[in-house]
């Protein structure tokens, strides 16, 4: 049975104060002592933000400027009224997950003490009949307890790390709101009775509305963990509120000389937010497909993946490599982690530099660059109909490396970078010999072809294999 206690509320405090104090006591010290967290926790104990000063419409004798200020203030107030309760609930959820798992880890550490573990196993073992075929029941219980503690430690360590990640997201998302609230208050007080400062206040309100309409990464992550927030679709509500504000914006600012610029900026941001929401919804719908694809790829190729044998200097590119490269394109259009790591290893080699005159001293490094270029090019392109694989690699080598390198030689930025046709042909012969030694089936372009290549590059700036 859970422990039930009667707590006397101190004089001068309410039950709500006591409940709030109990909630804060469940938070880790790092959260409870944070200034931004205190700002959200103490913003409003009833979770119904108090109206701003001057909540009632200004009397008719006030100027249109005061009416504008009132409308703007209500728009900004709606943003904080919507966001702060959500951040309050998210903070309590993060703190609960963090504190519960941290407490569980402390209990697991105590249970792992040899004496405690032995006592627990003995007590449980005494109530279990001894099985002669499996040995003493106490030993079995001790083994099961050790396994259970190991599994629980792994689970709660991951939950604590996840709560820490959420806490970082929470701080990064809420801190700008706190800063914007201070800017809003300062701009409002500065605009009192000063028409020339009214548009400055309007600009701060517009920034507040745009900030409040940004999609929340924190909400998306928490919802994936099963947390729900009252109020329906938070992103849809934000964008809908933004659309409502866009509707009354001309009625309030149509006489301001800068209205057209601000309204265009406002509408452009609104369209951008709708595009972001569509993209996030697409990612959400495709997330199960992506997870299933990653699981299938891991089951097929293991944790190492299929690309390690095809690193620079390894096995020459093959149809199997090209097929794996296409297979590792996930349903959402992104590359798998194995493919991204392989591409990153290829991209780490410097390319696009001018060919040095003393290329023989750097031939090994130039060979690695050409090898990486052909490997990636063989995967990003595709053979023509009926084209054999060796002929396809020859074409990739000539188009992706030979022709591209010739641009910096035939049309150099500096005269010192120029090479003659015989010198470039000699370099290609030496480079091809190195690549053939690595397993490629390539032939070097002849001097006549290199000469035609230089002519095409000087004429058009680029040449495909068919031009020379």
pLDDT, position 260 = 61
Please tell me whether residues 251 and 377 are part of one structural domain: no
pLDDT, position 46 = 43
Domain membership of residue 270 (yes or no) is no
pLDDT, position 329 = 94
Distance CA 342, CA 337 (A): 9
DSSP calls for 296-322: HHHHHHTTT-S-GGGSTTSSPP-HHHH
How many distinct structural domains can be found in the chain?
Answer: 2
Is a pLDDT exceeding 50 seen at residue 237?
Answer: no
| Diameter over CA atoms, the chain | 100
Taking a C-beta distance cutoff of 8 angstroms, is the pair 211, 177 a contact? yes
pLDDT, position 70 = 73
Domain membership of residue 296 (yes or no) is no
More confident residue, 14 or 140: 140
Write out the two tokens for 270: 């609104």
Is a pLDDT exceeding 90 seen at residue 74?
Answer: no
pLDDT digits (tens, 9 = 90+) for 87-124: 888 898 899 889 999 988 988 888 877 777 777 767 76
Last residue of a domain, one of 256, 291, 309: 256
pLDDT, position 325 = 95
Structure confidence at residue 129 as a pLDDT band (50, 70, 90): low
Structure confidence at residue 361 as a pLDDT band (50, 70, 90): confident
More confident residue, 147 or 14: 147
pLDDT, position 23 = 63
Distance CA 398, CA 411 (A): 18
Domain membership of residue 461 (yes or no) is yes
pLDDT, position 113 = 78
Please tell me whether residues 229 and 377 are part of one structural domain: no
Kindly state the average pLDDT of the residues 231-255: 50
Please tell me whether residues 246 and 378 are part of one structural domain: no
Taking a C-beta distance cutoff of 8 angstroms, is the pair 385, 370 a contact? no
Q: Spell out a b/e string for 142-163, using b for 16 or more CB atoms within 10 Å of the CB, else e.
A: beebeeebeebbeebeebbebb
Is a pLDDT exceeding 60 seen at residue 127?
Answer: yes
pLDDT, position 153 = 86
- Integer distance in angstroms from the first to the last C-alpha of the chain? 87
Taking a C-beta distance cutoff of 8 angstroms, is the pair 86, 229 a contact? yes
Structure confidence at residue 462 as a pLDDT band (50, 70, 90): confident
- pLDDT over 90 for what percent of the chain? 22
User: In sequence order, what are the residues at sequence separation of 6 or more whose Cβ sits closer than 8 angstroms to the Cβ of residue 234?
Assistant: 86, 216, 219
pLDDT digits (tens, 9 = 90+) for 20-63: 565 666 788 898 889 999 888 877 544 444 444 445 555 544 55
Is a pLDDT exceeding 60 seen at residue 150?
Answer: yes
Distance CA 311, CA 418 (A): 32
**How long is the chain?**
468
Domain membership of residue 454 (yes or no) is yes
pLDDT, position 1 = 38
Domain membership of residue 384 (yes or no) is yes
pLDDT, position 167 = 92
Last residue of a domain, one of 228, 256, 284: 256
Please tell me whether residues 161 and 53 are part of one structural domain: yes
Across 410-455, the runs of DSSP E, i.e. the strands, are none
Is a pLDDT exceeding 90 seen at residue 326?
Answer: yes
Question: What is the residue whose two structure tokens read 């096995």?
Answer: 315
Phi/psi at 329 (5° precision)? -95, 115
Taking a C-beta distance cutoff of 8 angstroms, is the pair 138, 190 a contact? no
Structure confidence at residue 354 as a pLDDT band (50, 70, 90): low
pLDDT, position 267 = 67
The residue segments making up the domain with residue 427 are 349-467
pLDDT, position 378 = 94
pLDDT, position 294 = 92
Please tell me whether residues 251 and 364 are part of one structural domain: no
Q: Which of 184-193, 242-251, 311-320 has the lowest mean pLDDT?
A: 242-251
The pTM of the full predicted model, rounded to 2 decimals, is 0.53
pLDDT digits (tens, 9 = 90+) for 330-345: 998 899 999 999 998 8
CA nearest neighbour of 376 among 390, 391, 388, 393: 393
Please tell me whether residues 125 and 234 are part of one structural domain: yes
């Amino acid at each position: 049975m859970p422990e039930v206690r009667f707590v006397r509320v101190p004089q001068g405090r309410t039950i709500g104060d006591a409940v709030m104090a109990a909630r804060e006591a469940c938070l880790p010290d790092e959260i409870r002592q944070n200034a931004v967290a205190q700002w959200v926790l103490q913003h409003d104990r009833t979770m119904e933000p108090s109206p701003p000063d001057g909540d009632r419409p200004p009397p008719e004798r006030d100027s249109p400027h005061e009416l504008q200020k009132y409308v703007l203030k209500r728009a900004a107030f709606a943003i904080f009224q919507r966001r702060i309760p959500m951040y309050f609930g998210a903070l309590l959820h993060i703190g609960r997950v963090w504190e519960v798992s941290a407490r569980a880890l402390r209990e697991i550490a105590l249970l792992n003490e040899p004496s405690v573990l032995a006592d627990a196993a003995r007590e449980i073992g005494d109530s279990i009949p001894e099985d002669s075929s499996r040995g003493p029941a106490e030993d079995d219980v001790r083994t099961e307890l050790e396994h259970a503690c190991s599994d629980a430690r792994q689970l709660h360590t991951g939950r604590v790390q996840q709560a820490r990640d959420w806490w970082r997201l929470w701080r990064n998302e809420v801190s700008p709101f706190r800063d914007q609230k201070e800017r809003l208050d300062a701009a409002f007080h500065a605009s009192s009775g000063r028409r020339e400062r009214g548009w400055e206040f309007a600009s701060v309100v517009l920034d507040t509305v745009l900030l409040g309409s940004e999609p929340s990464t924190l909400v998306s992550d928490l919802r994936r963990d099963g947390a729900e927030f009252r109020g329906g679709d938070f992103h849809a509500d934000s964008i809908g509120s933004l659309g409502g504000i866009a509707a009354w914006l001309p009625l309030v600012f149509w006489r301001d000389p800068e209205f057209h610029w601000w309204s265009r900026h406002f509408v452009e941001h609104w369209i951008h937010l709708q595009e972001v929401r569509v993209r996030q919804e697409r990612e959400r719908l495709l997330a199960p497909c992506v997870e299933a694809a990653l699981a299938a790829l891991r089951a097929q190729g293991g944790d190492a993946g299929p690309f390690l044998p095809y690193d620079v200097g390894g096995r020459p590119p093959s149809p199997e490599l090209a097929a794996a490269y296409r297979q590792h394109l996930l349903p959402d259009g992104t590359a798998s982690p194995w493919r991204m790591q392989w591409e990153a290893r290829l991209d780490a080699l410097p390319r696009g530099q001018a060919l040095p005159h003393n290329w023989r001293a750097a031939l090994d490094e130039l060979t690695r660059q050409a090898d990486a270029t052909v490997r990636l090019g063989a995967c990003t392109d595709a053979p023509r109909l009926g084209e054999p694989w060796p002929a396809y690699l020859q074409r990739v080598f000539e188009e992706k490396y030979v022709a591209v390198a010739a641009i910096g030689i035939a049309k150099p930025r500096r005269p010192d970078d120029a090479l003659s046709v015989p010198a470039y042909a000699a370099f290609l012969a030496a480079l091809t010999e190195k690549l053939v030694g690595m397993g490629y089936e390539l032939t070097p372009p002849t001097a006549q072809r290199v000469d035609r290549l230089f002519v095409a590059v000087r004429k058009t700036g680029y040449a495909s294999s068919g031009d020379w």
